[in-house]
Amino acid sequence: MADQSLRILLLATGALFTGITGFIIYFVVLYRNKQLKNKRDQEQLQSAFRQELLKTQIEMQEQTLLYVSREIHDNVTQVLSFVKLSLAMAAKGAEDHKQTKINESRELVAQVITDLRDLSKSLSFEHITQLGLVKTIEIETKRINKSGIINVSLSAEGDIYPLGEQRELVLFRIFQETLNNTLKHSGAKHLKIALQYHSELFNLTLEDDGDGFSAILLDKSKGSGLKNIENRATLIGATATINSSPGKGCCVKVSLNPLEQRLYADGYHPSRFS
Amino acid sequence: MSIISISYDLLLLTVFSVGIIRYKRLTIPFKVLTWSVLPIFLLAILSGIFSLKYKNNVPIMHLECITGYIFYSLTYYYLFKSKAIKQSIIISIVIIIVFFIINAVFLQPFRKVFPSNVTTPTQVLYAVFSLLLFKEMLLYPLKINIIKQSVFWYNIGVLFYSTSLFLMFGLGNYIGDHKLSPNFVSFIGYFWYFILYVFHILIGVSLLIDNKEITATDG
């Protein structure tokens, strides 16, 4: 009887240690698989993020080239044609008239040089990296105001801090997309842009006084520019809220927690990807 | 005091020293774990003295049981991410303390009877905490190799310790029921020390490899 109890006890001991060892081995294998799966998922997310970021970059370049081509056509070419005409007329005119025309032409050429310098700045894709989001939006605001199409006001609240190159790039693209929508479809006269920098929250708000649109239209238009805004915001861990109703304008608000990092977003500019 | 119990005390002292030397680099749960070794070490010395002087170390067993539970479950409290489990751990500590007092006064007198009524549920809880932590580890895997993770070694130690104790209870009952040779009784004693050695060596390993900088960057 005693021997049998002892045998059972020894068997139980063996079973216990075998069980624990088996469990540990099983757990280690399971954990390793989980690690590998996580690594793969993260790589996929990173790849999707890079692709989306490159798409954003291309869109921004397209937008910039469109703007440059318009500027060259509507401004530079016109002014230079006028200068050419003015100089041709000066050649035929009297001496004092000639001097006035040359002075006028010189001023116009100086203006063209300034405009071309501004254009060359907007051609450089790196300027958002160098100047930061606020300054870049400020330049864009000045440009739009100068065109006279719409009156844009910009306000920045709180201590401005960098949000990271990639996030600022995406935020700027959201800004551009919203601005385009306002210019093309809203018929607005005023656009208010507000940037709020709080310690744990960043807000970018664009509010126009245009025609607005109904919520039904908003739902239908998912898949277009508005959906793009939401998707891009999600990409950088932000949330985009679009509020509009007929006759009451439109408000796009992008909120972001600057402390929350996305594992797949490494904070570098896409042009630096190896 | 036998050589095996003295070397066990030395092991506890070494583990505590490892924790103290690396204290600044440890995460909060492993700082708690470091402090758990000190009372266990002091109680182990007292246990030896009581055994020699009074031939009875049961009061020390009572204290060891409750001290261990408070420290080890507090360590788990800091290791878990789930708020519900954290809350449950705090509640369990309160319940176990109350039950410990009731047990020591009314059920298993503090100076006479081994506190199996408290030891059994605490060991079950250790095993449950350990398994739940393994599950949570699978939900939030870190990038670093599991062998280099302090929590893995601590958790294995607790699982081994808690499950082995039931075996020890079985062996204890077997000894009680059968008149066995002194060699066999000694063997059981050595086996108990083996469990304690493994448990504290694993705690030592976890204190040796724990690094708050690695945990912060990986997590």
pLDDT in tens, B82-104: 999 999 999 999 999 999 999 88
Contact between chains at B170 and A20 (C-beta distance less than 8 A): no
Q: What is the CA radius of gyration of chain B?
A: 18
C-alpha span between A237 and A263 (Å, rounded): 10
- Please enumerate residues of B whose Cβ is less than 8 A from a Cβ of A: 134, 137-138, 141-143, 146, 156, 159-160, 163-164, 167, 170-171, 174, 177-178
The overall longest dimension of chain A from CA atoms, in Å, is: 135
Contact between chains at B146 and A28 (C-beta distance less than 8 A): yes
CA distance B210 to chain A (A): 18
Residues in B closer than 8 angstroms to A38, CB to CB, are: 141
Q: Token digits for A151? A: 């009156």
Nearest to B10 by CA among B203, B200, B160, B187: B200
Residues in A closer than 8 angstroms to B143, CB to CB, are: 35, 39
Q: Which of A4, A8, A11, A34 to mutate to test the interface with B (most CBs of B within 10 A)?
A: A34
Among A7-11, B59-63, B84-88, B91-95, the minimum mean pLDDT is found in A7-11
pTM: 0.66
Q: What stretches of chain B adopt beta strand conformation (E)?
A: none
Decide: helix, strand or coil at residue A194.
strand
What's the average model confidence in pLDDT over B133-160? Answer: 91
ipTM of the complex: 0.82
CA distance A194 to chain B (A): 34
If pLDDT is split at 50, 70 and 90, which confidence band does A261 have?
low
- Please enumerate residues of A whose Cβ is less than 8 A from a Cβ of B: 2, 5-6, 9, 12-13, 16, 20, 23-24, 27-28, 30-32, 34-35, 38-39
Got the DSSP string for A151-176? EEEEEEES------HHHHHHHHHHHH
Q: Token digits for A26? A: 């099983």
Count of domains observed in chain B = 1
Residue count (chain B): 219
Contact between chains at A28 and B170 (C-beta distance less than 8 A): no
Residues in A closer than 8 angstroms to B177, CB to CB, are: 5
Q: Which of B139, B166, B173, B174 to mutate to test the interface with A (most CBs of A within 10 A)?
A: B174
C-alpha span between A1 and B79 (Å, rounded): 46
Locate the chain A residue with the closest alpha carbon to B184. A6
Element at B199 (helix H, strand E): helix B182-209
Residue count (chain A): 274
Among A27-31, A79-83, A224-228, B58-62, the minimum mean pLDDT is found in A224-228
| Span A131-165, pLDDT tens digits | 888 988 988 888 788 778 889 999 999 998 888 88
Residues in A closer than 8 angstroms to B159, CB to CB, are: 20, 23
Contact between chains at B138 and A32 (C-beta distance less than 8 A): no
Whether the Cβ atoms of residue B78 and residue B49 lie closer than 8 Å to each other: no
Locate the chain A residue with the closest alpha carbon to B138. A31
CA distance B133 to chain A (A): 12
Alpha helices for chain A (secondary structure H)? 2-71, 77-92, 95-123, 127-131, 133-147, 165-181, 215-220, 225-235
pLDDT for position A122:
64
If pLDDT is split at 50, 70 and 90, which confidence band does A1 have?
low
Contact between chains at A20 and B159 (C-beta distance less than 8 A): yes
Q: Which domain holds residue B208?
A: 3-218
Contact between chains at A27 and B134 (C-beta distance less than 8 A): yes
Q: Which of B130, B136, B160 to mutate to test the interface with A (most CBs of A within 10 A)?
A: B160
Contact between chains at A12 and B170 (C-beta distance less than 8 A): yes
Whether the Cβ atoms of residue B133 and residue A27 lie closer than 8 Å to each other: no
Residues in A closer than 8 angstroms to B164, CB to CB, are: 16
Tokens 């490494």 — which residue? A266
Contact between chains at B134 and A12 (C-beta distance less than 8 A): no
If pLDDT is split at 50, 70 and 90, which confidence band does A215 have?
low
Is residue A194 pLDDT above 90, yes or no? yes
Nearest to A171 by CA among A146, A214, A140, A211: A140
Residues in A closer than 8 angstroms to B141, CB to CB, are: 31, 34-35, 38
Q: Token digits for B63? A: 């204290």
Nearest to A31 among B146, B167, B174 (CB): B146
Contact between chains at B174 and A5 (C-beta distance less than 8 A): yes
CA distance A201 to chain B (A): 23
CATH superfamily of A150-274: Histidine kinase-like ATPase, C-terminal domain (3.30.565.10)
pLDDT for position A218:
64
If pLDDT is split at 50, 70 and 90, which confidence band does A268 have?
very low
Residues in B closer than 8 angstroms to A16, CB to CB, are: 163-164, 167
A252-to-A133, A170, A244, B212 alpha-carbon distances in Å: 17, 15, 9, 41
Contact between chains at A20 and B163 (C-beta distance less than 8 A): yes
Residue B10's contacts (CB-CB under 8 Å, 6 or more residues apart) are none
Q: List the domain boundaries for chain A.
A: 1-125, 150-274
Nearest to B164 by CA among B115, B211, B138, B198: B198
Among A65-74, A203-212, B130-139, the minimum mean pLDDT is found in A65-74
Whether the Cβ atoms of residue B62 and residue B111 lie closer than 8 Å to each other: no
Is residue A273 pLDDT above 50, yes or no? no
Q: What percent of chain A has pLDDT over 90?
A: 15
pLDDT for position A220:
62
